[in-house]
Chain A
Amino acid sequence: MKPAAFEYHAPRTLEEAVAVLARVAPEEGRVLAGGQTLVPAMALRLARPGHLVDINGVAGLDRIDVADGVVRIGACVRHAAVDAPGPMGRLMALMKRHIAHGPIRARGTFCGSLANADAASEWCLLAVAMDARVEVRSARGARILAVDDLLLGSMMTTLEPDEMIVAARIRLLPERARVGFHEFARRAGDFAQVMAVAVLGDDGPRLAIGSLEPRPRRLPEAEAALANDPVDLAAASRTAAAALLLPEEDAYLRALAETSVRRALEAAA
């Protein structure tokens, strides 16, 4: 279980990084961030990039900046370091605990998770729930994408081979927002079987679910149901579960959806 050979590049600046990436992209060049998904995939020879552009040495990418009610998470910010003021920080902390284990959280990155687009990625779920935006750079220029326009499906994004994510931007939650998260995994640290995020209060309601479909999604019907008075969490959870497109009408997965949404809501309520 040894990776296939590749050429290694360690740019020091963003300009250098996108220049190298532009050059090697046609030869299966890839960005190496935390490596916590890419390296095992290479060890299993499921991935055989011809070049790796290691962005860990690029100055400035490991910063978290907060300005104008937005937290900006740089491409080299590790899972363990992800943080924000107020309820957003609380929500991030709730979710972070479920991403793998300490030693993996010490290396894996927030933006790498978005680029990797795993259906069961906590950060993809958060990004979708919060309508995050993603700063993308290439030698050709820069663009800003809504996360909905980034994530295509399981392990698929709209990034061009010469593009890299430079940072993700998430709007902070108002102080009085209430947040809830639920996840069910087979073992501690495993990828989720199902997970859901709920944000209630000032900015809400926001409700999103991950793992069951190829990409996380908001649940607008259920969010609407939460506007009813009195609020019926059970009914909203049923509405949420009913909205999902599941293979072969899988009753178990639909029940998991209902459970997870309900618990996330209860945690936020």
Chain B
Amino acid sequence: MHDVTLCLNGDVHRIRVEARRTLLDAIREDCGATGTHAGCEHGVCGACTVLLDGEPVRSCLMFAVQADGRELRTVEGLAKDGVLHKLQQSFIDHHALQCGYCTPGFLMLAAGLIEADPDLSDAALIDGLSANLCRCTGYANIVAAVRAVLGRAPS
């Protein structure tokens, strides 16, 4: 067993886990933050995307021990003081979710993309968002929602 400290959305969680516990399971089961979802647990769907030191990663492809002392952000950390993050509001306004299962992963992916480059080109946006799978929306509204946050007209 390993003692691990995760800094999740600014809160410190001291947890005790087996080495094999994935970061995804640790966030969900040990920290109780179930907003981050498992879609495949083998790295393809992106439902488990979180920000590790600001960068989007697949939390199913890391062990919790590897995140010891690192800064993690998940969907639960997006809204501030009860006010939705502009991406969250834009997802609602653009009907960018149906079942909502992929949504936390897409929100974190998009947050990472636009924080890294607020002037992201459209091609880079499409390329970046093609990392994650959505089975409901057909994607167009997700792209529209992120474009709107970037201050761009839907195309």
Residues of A within 8 A of B (CB): 1-8, 10, 35-36, 39-40, 42-44, 52, 54, 56, 97, 101-104, 106-107, 188-189
Q: Is the CB of A43 within 8 A of B46?
A: no
* Known pairs A1-B42, A39-B61, A103-B46 / 19 extra A-B pairs, C-beta < 8 Å: A2-B20, A2-B22, A7-B19, A8-B19, A36-B61, A39-B63, A42-B20, A43-B22, A54-B66, A97-B127, A102-B127, A102-B128, A103-B55, A103-B58, A103-B112, A104-B43, A107-B57, A188-B127, A189-B131
Cβ–Cβ contact A40 & B61, under 8 A: yes
Which single residue of chain A is at the shortest CB-CB distance from B133?
A187
Instruction: List the B side residues contacting A6 at CB < 8 Å.
Output: 19-20
Interface size band for B? 20 to 34
The reply to whether the CB of B2 lies closer than 8 angstroms to some CB of chain A is yes
Complex Cα spacing A8 to B58, Å: 20
Q: How far is the CB of A77 from chain B (nearest CB, A)?
A: 15
Choose from B19, B41, B56, B65 the contact partner of A102 (Cβ within 8 Å).
B56
Q: Are B43 and A39 in contact (CB under 8 A)?
A: yes
B106-121: which have CB < 8 Å to A?
109, 112-113
| 21 CB < 8 A contacts A-B | A2-B25, A2-B41, A3-B22, A4-B20, A5-B18, A8-B2, A8-B63, A35-B62, A36-B61, A39-B61, A40-B43, A42-B20, A43-B22, A43-B42, A52-B19, A54-B65, A54-B66, A102-B56, A102-B131, A103-B55, A103-B58
Where chain A touches its partner, the secondary structure class is loop
Q: B9 contacts which chain A residues (CB < 8 A)? A: none
CA A189 to CA B128, docked complex, whole Å: 10
B60 touches A (CB below 8 Å): yes
Cβ of A93 to closest chain B Cβ, rounded Å: 13
B49 at the interface (CB under 8 A from A): yes
Rank and list the top 4 A-B pairs by shortest CB-CB distance, nearest first. A101-B131, A8-B19, A40-B42, A1-B41
Q: Give the Cβ gap from B66 to chain A, nearest Cβ, in Å.
A: 6
B130 at the interface (CB under 8 A from A): yes
Closest to B55 in A: A106
Q: A189 CA to B133 CA in the complex, in Å?
A: 12
CB pair A43–B41 under 8 Å, yes or no, is yes
CA–CA, A4 and B21, complex, Å: 10
Contact of B131 among A36, A43, A54, A103 (CB under 8 A): A103
- Of residues 41 through 89 on chain B, the ones whose CB sits less than 8 Å from some CB of chain A are 41-43, 46, 49, 55-58, 60-63, 65-66
Interfacial chain A residues near B42, Cβ < 8 Å: 1, 40, 43-44
Contacts of A101 in B (CB 8 A): 46, 128, 130-132
Docked Cα-Cα span, A7 to B25, in Å, equals: 18
Interfacial chain A residues near B43, Cβ < 8 Å: 36, 39-40, 104
CB distance from B58 to the nearest CB of A (A): 5
B33 to chain A, nearest CB (A): 18
B-chain residues with CB within 8 Å of residue A39 when the two chains form the complex? 22, 43, 60-63
Q: How far is the CB of B60 from chain A (nearest CB, A)?
A: 7
A44 to B25, CA, bound (A): 15
Residue in A closest to B50 when the chains form the complex, CB atoms: A103
- Is the beta-carbon distance between A3 and B46 smaller than 8 angstroms? no
Nearest-Cβ distance from residue A43 to partner chain B, whole angstroms:
5
- A103 near B130 with CB under 8 A, answer no
Return the chain B residue nearest A2 by Cβ. Answer: B20
Do the beta carbons of B41 and A103 come within 8 Å of each other?
Answer: no
B49 partner residues in chain A, CB cutoff 8 A: 103
Cβ contact within 8 Å between A103 and B109: yes
Minimum distance in angstroms from A117 CB to a CB of chain B: 18
Query: Distance in Å from the Cβ of B147 to the closest Cβ of chain A?
Result: 18
Give the chain B neighbours of A106 by CB distance below 8 A.
55-57
